[in-house]
Structure 1
Amino acid sequence: MLKTNARESFANIGKEVGLSAPAIGKRVRQMEDEGIIEGYALKVNHEKLGIETKAYITLVMHREARGASDALEKIHAMEEVRRCDRITGDDCLCILGYFKNNRHLIAFLERISQYGATKTSIILEV
């Protein structure tokens, strides 16, 4: 239930699973203390903020590039990037990016082209 709504009350969770609110609170705190629950996230409607284009972009590093770690750090810091992972296979990085429109996406691709060759897949529907 917390995965669906992290703000759900312990009382409501308790009713659903047959435990008291204090028992649920104790279990949640224990999971937080043990690192099972690492945090709580905010869900944002990006379309209402003007984000029209979302894309997965894979990057194959240039041989002369200084290294994937350096590129990963710099690319991850870019405001358009929501996620940047080092991956196995022919590609080195997989980037999830959010963009105002396709022109914004093109500008982003031009900025990261210094690190290597990209392949872009625009997300049509989640």
Structure 2
Amino acid sequence: MDEIDRHILRELQADGRLSNQELAQRVGLTASPCMRRVRQLEQDGVIEGYRAIVNPEAVGRGFEVLVSVEVRRERECVEAFEAALREIPDVIEAYRLFGSPGCLLRVAVADLKAYERLWIERLTSLAGVTEVNSQIIMKRVKESAGLPVSAGARRSG
């Protein structure tokens, strides 16, 4: 991966809807080589996909909560818990962590009442769960725009 590839990645992270022509102009290429590079980055798994960024409030999910969950440290419990999380659309991100807490979730629902229902009916009743702690998000200070692509970034493998 060279500097032009990294430039392509930065531009697509900023605006994934750029036309190939516009992207090519921004990175200093003509359309054909630019398209070849983008396709190669996709084939190599560097670009995993493209997504729309949705305003949570516009779709009735403006109430966000970070939830730390402790799960019994038995393989079957952890696997069942993770499988159950995938089936809960209100859990929009989930991470298994080293140490405590064992799992961190990002939940997006309509309001406090909806979160309370989710907490009572789903989260605390999942197999293996021993503790659930909630932190209500007051304000997003910084939001992910993807991984930083710096000049020194190298792909291993």
User: Structure 1 residues 20, 68: CA separation in 2 closer, same or farther (over 3 Å shift)?
Assistant: same
Q: 3-state SS of the aligned residue for 2:94?
A: strand
1:34-89 CA-partner distances (Å, limit 9, x unpaired)? 11111111211120112231111010125789511111110221120111111111
Query: Could you tell me whether the CA contact under 8 Å between 2:20 and 2:35 is conserved in 1?
Result: yes
- Which residue matches 2:47? 37
Q: 3-state SS of the aligned residue for 2:52?
A: coil
Query: Could you tell me whether the CA contact under 8 Å between 2:72 and 2:78 is conserved in 1?
Result: no
Stretches of structure 2 lacking an aligned partner (at least 5 in a row): 1-10, 141-157
- Relative to the length of structure 1, the TM-score reads 0.90
Which of 94, 112, 116 is the matching residue for 2:123?
A: 112
Q: 3-state SS of the aligned residue for 1:12?
A: helix
Query: In structure 2, how many angstroms separate the alpha carbons of the residues matched to 1:87 and 1:64?
Result: 15
- Which residue matches 2:13? 3
Q: CA deviation at 1:17?
A: 1.8
- Which residue matches 2:68? 58
Stretches of structure 1 lacking an aligned partner (at least 5 in a row): none
Q: CA deviation at 1:99?
A: 0.7
- Which residue matches 1:79? 89
Deviates more, 1:65-74 or 1:10-19: 65-74
Q: CA deviation at 1:104?
A: 0.8
Deviates more, 1:100-109 or 1:8-17: 8-17
- Relative to the length of structure 2, the TM-score reads 0.74
Spell out structure 1 runs of 4+ moving beyond 3 A: 62-66
Q: CA deviation at 1:121?
A: 1.2
Query: In structure 2, how many angstroms separate the alpha carbons of the residues matched to 1:62 and 1:39?
Result: 34
Report sequence identity in percent.
Answer: 23
When the two chains are superposed, the root-mean-square deviation of aligned CA atoms in Å is 1.8
Q: CA deviation at 1:116?
A: 2.3
Deviates more, 1:22-31 or 1:12-21: 12-21
